[in-house]
Structures are given as structure tokens and as C-alpha cells.
Structure 1
């Protein structure tokens, strides 16, 4: 097990690297993957790490460093309880000192032993509304975590949580911008198509829109695609002859 001085040095280096991660240079997956890799540097126990997330109460493992962490996470999801879910849901640091004699979540603990994890530490991550998470370390030794390593984990987790939360916000902002751009482009092409119909059939704006909507339903096509076809080709499948609109 690392000495206090060694653990502090590893934690300081890991925290420094976390602070240097640049959002636009990472996908969600690559950023979170680096977080769990740094966790292995900080924590003892010859184990594996993961980040489990509860998004609208649905659990998933965002990333993991090895099969041990993935298998232990997923054993909890199938049961609906366990240390990582407890930490994420309650906001409490949750430690299993020796899974062989653990009385909480007994059937999960037995599976953890079978997978090769004799102790674990799950630290809640500060994320955002609708999202909860935990940084998990599954060790192959019993009683792998001493006070120094617990403190290192507690110091590390908030930085990890901020990195994950910021990346969610960053990706959500990009997704929102993309949706807004699509909406703007759709509105523009639909207005163009309405203008063509208004000119061609001498229709008021509301009747022109109703005609586009009717053809959209008849052809089982998105309204935007119907409008794009008319703007691009001047033709529209199902278009009524002049005077029939």
C-alpha cells in the first residue's frame, strides 16, 4: 500500500492533470475515461475503477478501467442496489471493507467476491439536476483503503465530478445549438415552400402551410423534407393541380 507521502504526491499530480483537461479536445467518453485512469493512480488495492451514472434514475457505467469494475457495477444494476448505487443515490461515501463478510447487499457482495473484488470504495460525484454518479474503486484485497487513500479519493472526486458535469453541459449546449440550427433551417425552407405555393396557387399563407402539412401526412414524409423537395425541384408529389388547393 502506498505511503501517505506517495499517495499525496500521486493525488496532487492527478488533480493537476484533471485541471488541465480541455473540454473541446475530448469527447464525453475520452474525458471520463481519463478520469478513471487517474483514479487508479491515486487509489490503492491493485484494483479497477469506474464511473457509474444515474441519469433520470437509470443506471449505467460510463467508463471503466477493467472487467472487474464493469462486472461489479453491472451486478448491482441487475439487483437495483449495492455500494455504487447507494453512493450515487444517497450522496454518501460507501465502503465495503471485506466483501466476504459484508452483511449489506449480501447477494451482491457474494458476486463481487466471485468477480475478484474483496473491498471497494464508492464516492459520490457532484453532478447536476437529473444526473447522479459515483466514482468507484474495486480492490482485489480486503481492507484496501486506509484514511489517507479515503482522503485522496474525497479530494479527487469533486474535481472528477466537475469534469464530468462540465462535459455534460458542454455536450448538451452543442446539442441544443444543433437542434436550434436545424429548427432555423427547417423554418426557412418551409417558408420558402409556402412562398412558392402562395405564388403558384394564389393561396394565403395559412392555406399554403395546410397544403404542405396535408402532403406530408399523405406521403408519410417529414414536413421539412416535403418543403425541401418543392424548393429544390419545383415539383411536389401529390401536389394538386392549379385551382384544386
Structure 2
């Protein structure tokens, strides 16, 4: 087990003792959080064992390591360590602010329905090279079916925006326009689709589509609003991808768990945010995640 901050560990054990006497749901939830953090500090997976190891580490007059652990008690003089903590603190505040302001993909779809004049709703889908359509989010089951219908028909705004490769595409579904997708869309009250290209993938492309009761004209405020909402959808997709990456990394947290625990305790952030901060600090300091993790472990803070 790497070095730990005995002051922080002592606070956690004291809080554990106080919460153990309480039975409210809030206290029990906090107790679980404290147990998790102590487990991260000590490298133990069992909560009772983690608390026992923590008490051993904090025992007065203890000499030598416990279960291979070493305790940091002296001041840290390394300027790199101070810079790392400063970066983590700044990033923690920025991350909290981002979570207060950024929308999720369902939020963007809901906003589209109420903000764009004549909108039935919106959806985000990927058109793959084999012609299949993978819908990442849809404002309603009806729109989900319309997105998939484009793959079944082999035609529609998604196929056209893929060929176009960028920008916005405005498609009118006039009564005289033939095609299975157009017929099905008109039966749902859709008379036009505004589709914005989001990104090109190795085997397809992803697009943001707004289904409309009345067409919008190019260059109008409604058309510009679709572009703004498409940008928000792209940001939400990036956030979701980052969250999946973090979840994958957390599955391997035994390698970096102590560093996550230190960051959680120091800056009051949840585990996934702690990992994000460590990764971004590594990027801003011009190093890699392993170096940041090992530096925190060696410094004991």
C-alpha cells in the first residue's frame, strides 16, 4: 500500500466512529462513503478490514509498516507536489461548475422540442457503413422508429447528410415525394427534417435531426437555432464518452485507487470526478497519469 496522509485518515476514522452510532438514511449513506474512502486509502476491499488497518496505522507509537504500508507524517517540500495540488484544486472547481451548467443529451432533445418552432422533437443517430442506423437518443418512441426507418429504407436525411459530410441539411417531405421513410414520416405529422452533421466516424457518421411540422428556411433564426442545439448535442456526446472512459478506468482502480482516495478527501469530489481531475492535471503538467498517481502516492497526499 502506498503512503497515506495520517491527518486525513484520522479524520475519516473519527467520522466513521461518529456515524456508526447513527441510524438515519443520510448518516448510513455517508458512512458507506467514508468506508469506501478508507478502503481506498488502505488498499483493502473489505470495509471492516480497511478500518482495522487504518486504526493500526494511526496507533500511537507505531513503528514500521503495517501490511506493507508506510505513513507520511513530515512536511512535503517538493514544489512539483505543490503544483500538482494547485492544479487539482483549480480543476475541481471547474469540474463542479461544468456539472452545474452543461446539459445531457436528453436535456438537449427536450430543449429542441420547446425551442424550435414547429418541432415534433429531435434525435441523434449514427449511420453506419453497412446501412444500419444506431440511435443514441430520441425524443420519443415515434422518432426512434423514424430514425430506424431510414436504415430500413436505405434513404432519408441521415444517408444524405453522410454523403454531404458536413453542415446542415434541410429536407422537405412534400406529399409528392415518394419513399417509405417519407410516407411514414408524413403519417406522423412530419413535413420536414433539419439534420446537422456532428462527426465522421471510422465506419459511419453521427447526425442531429430535428423533425418539423413546418419547414425551416436556410439562413433563418430557426435554422441557426438548430445548429446551436446540434453543437450542444455534440458536447453532451463528448461528456458521455468521457464518462464511459472513466468508468472503464475505475474498473481498474486498484492501480490508482489510493490517488483517487487522496483527491476525493482533499477536494471533496466523487470517485469519477477525482479520476478526471488526475487525468487533466497530468495533461496540464505535461506528464502522464501514471506519473501523477505515483507522485501522489510517494508524497502521501
Structure-2-length-normalised TM-score: 0.44
Shift of 1:94: 1.8
Q: Distance in 1 between matches of 2:155 and 2:249?
A: 34
Give the match for residue 69 of structure 1.
Answer: 143
Contact 2:118 2:212 in 1 (8 A): yes
2:193·2:211 contact (CA, 8 Å) conserved in 1?
A: yes
How many pairs does the alignment contain?
158
Does residue 117 (structure 1) correspond to residue 194 (structure 2)? The answer is no
CA shift for structure 1 position 121: 0.7
Provide the aligned C-alpha RMSD in A.
3.4
Partner in structure 2 of residue 157 of structure 1:
230
CA contact (8 A) 1:52 1:135 kept: yes
Alpha-carbon distance change, 97 to 108 in structure 1, aligned in 2, over 3 angstroms? same
Q: Can you give the 5+ residue segments of structure 2 that lack an aligned partner in the other structure?
A: 1-96, 257-301
1:120-199 → structure 2 map (5 Å cutoff):
120-126=193-199, 132-141=205-214, 143-145=215-217, 147-178=220-251, 180-181=252-253
Larger RCO (CA within 8 A; separation ≥ 6): 2
- Residue 127 of structure 1: CA displacement? 7.2
How far off is 1:51 after superposition?
Answer: 1.3
CA contact (8 A) 1:89 1:132 kept: no
Q: Which residue of 2 aligns with 1:52?
A: 125
CA distance in 2, matches of 1:21, 1:132: 27
Contact 2:216 2:223 in 1 (8 A): no
Partners of 2:240 and 2:128 in 1: CA distance: 14
Aligned partners of 2:159, 2:239: CA distance in 1, in Å? Answer: 22
Q: Return the alpha-carbon distance in structure 2 between the equivalents of residues 160 and 116 of structure 1.
A: 24
Q: 2:174 aligns with which of 81, 87, 99?
A: 99
Unaligned runs of 5+ in 1: 1-19, 185-245
Between the aligned partners of 1:127 and 1:116, the Cα distance in structure 2 is 30
Q: Name the CA distance, whole Å, in 1 between partners of 2:255 and 2:160.
A: 41
CA gap 1:36/1:51 in 2 versus in 1, 3 angstroms: same
1:65–1:111 Cα change, 3 Å: same
